[in-house]
A = this chain, B = another copy of it.
Amino acid sequence: MTTVALSELDHRLTRLLAGTGLDHADAERLATYFVDAEASGRTTHGLQRLAGVLDALEAPDRAPRPTTRRHSPSVWSIEADGELGLLAVQRAVDTALGAASPTTSVIGVTGFSGTTGALGYFTEQVARAGHLCVCIVACESGVAPAGGIDPVLGTNPLSVSFPASPDPVTIDISTSALSYGTLQLLAHAGKDAPPDTVIDHEGRVSLDPFAADTGAQLPMAAHKGYGLALMIELIAGTMLGAKAGRVAVPGSDGLLLLTAPVDLFRGEDIVATDAARLLAEVRQSRPTDPARPVRVPGERSALARRTSRAAGSVEVDPALWKALVCRTDPR
């Protein structure tokens, strides 16, 4: 791994992204995202995705004009008009935070292009402002229903963040047995997929991660993951007017963000006290392996981020770093 100063990483990214003609503030937003993804160890959604983002930004005649529409005091939709997923989701977060709604708010996003990144990055921002945040995405199809062969549904991820000290509790999971990113990592490392994660085009369980490309991924926890994936596709797909199914309803991916202040029912302080007690009980509960204490979801990322920030640097994959240097420092 190559040790890279966070400031240099941020600087190079901002310059590179601004060089695509992107608005400077947006270039900074994206750079902040990528730096945080690396610093917090979310590398499957970090620099590895940069090339794809640059491809999307360098498409000809690109001039997205996202529009935000308020449907009711607490409901918005954003038609991203081809804006990058990463920026469109940030727009949704900013809309939610700007609303400072005393109750729930719901924001739907459609028409974005490219990756949305690690959803936990976005839900955490809302949680740091004292709101519970749930985010679901109906995305490109690749997952078969339980008992089925055809990849009708997306990996349809779900992220939830809950305010806590010093960091929010955050889950960020696909409803498939493996996320597509994990499957790609296995494929490129020449490793087998775990059993019951992939089927081939005839529906036979396969250990070949590439088989998912012509066959399908399987849902997590069989019918439970299938049910969740279908619900996400109904909500973030059909309610928003985004894609639903592989062929049934064409459209872009759909994303729905739901926020609610944690003091919806009772004071923020007492909720925080009770949450801290619950999290302490979880952390202090007996681990199966004495060397590996029970973790709270999101803790690993938060710890990695703190360590990186304290050091002022992060360990980056050498090939990805070299590619970034070449792009920003051509000789």
Contact = CB atoms under 8 A, between A and B. Distances in A.
Interface string A152-195: 11000000101000000101010001000000000000000000
Given A162-B231, A231-B169, A295-B147, A104 B74 contact: yes
Contact of A274 (B73, B199, B237, B289): B237
Interface string A242-265: 001111110000000000101011
A318 interface: no
Given A106-B260, A244-B275, A148 B75 contact: no
Nearest to A270: B241
B74 A103 contact: yes
Given A149-B286, A235-B162, A271-B238, A103 B277 contact: no
5 contacts: A108-B265, A146-B294, A220-B224, A230-B282, A241-B270
Interface of A: 71-75, 77, 102-104, 106, 108, 132, 144-150, 152-153, 160, 162, 169, 171, 173, 177, 199, 203, 220-221, 223-228, 230-231, 233-235, 237-241, 244-249, 260, 262, 264-266, 270-271, 274-275, 277-278, 280-282, 285-289, 292, 294-297
Copies of this chain, tallied across the complex: 2
A266 B241 contact: yes
Given A74-B104, A104-B106, A240-B265, A282 B245 contact: yes
Contacts of A233: 278
A95 to B, nearest CB: 14
B239 A132 contact: yes
Contact of A224 (B132, B221, B278): B221
B297 A226 contact: yes
A239 B280 CA distance: 17
A171 B222 CA distance: 13
B223 A220 contact: no
B274 A241 contact: yes
A147 B148 CA distance: 31
A108 B260 CA distance: 13
A278 B147 contact: no
B285 A262 contact: no
A227 B173 contact: yes
Contact of A248 (B152, B171, B244, B280): B280
B144 A244 contact: no
B277 A245 contact: yes
A182 to B, nearest CB: 12
A166 B104 CA distance: 30
Contacts of A150: 285-286
A68 to B, nearest CB: 12
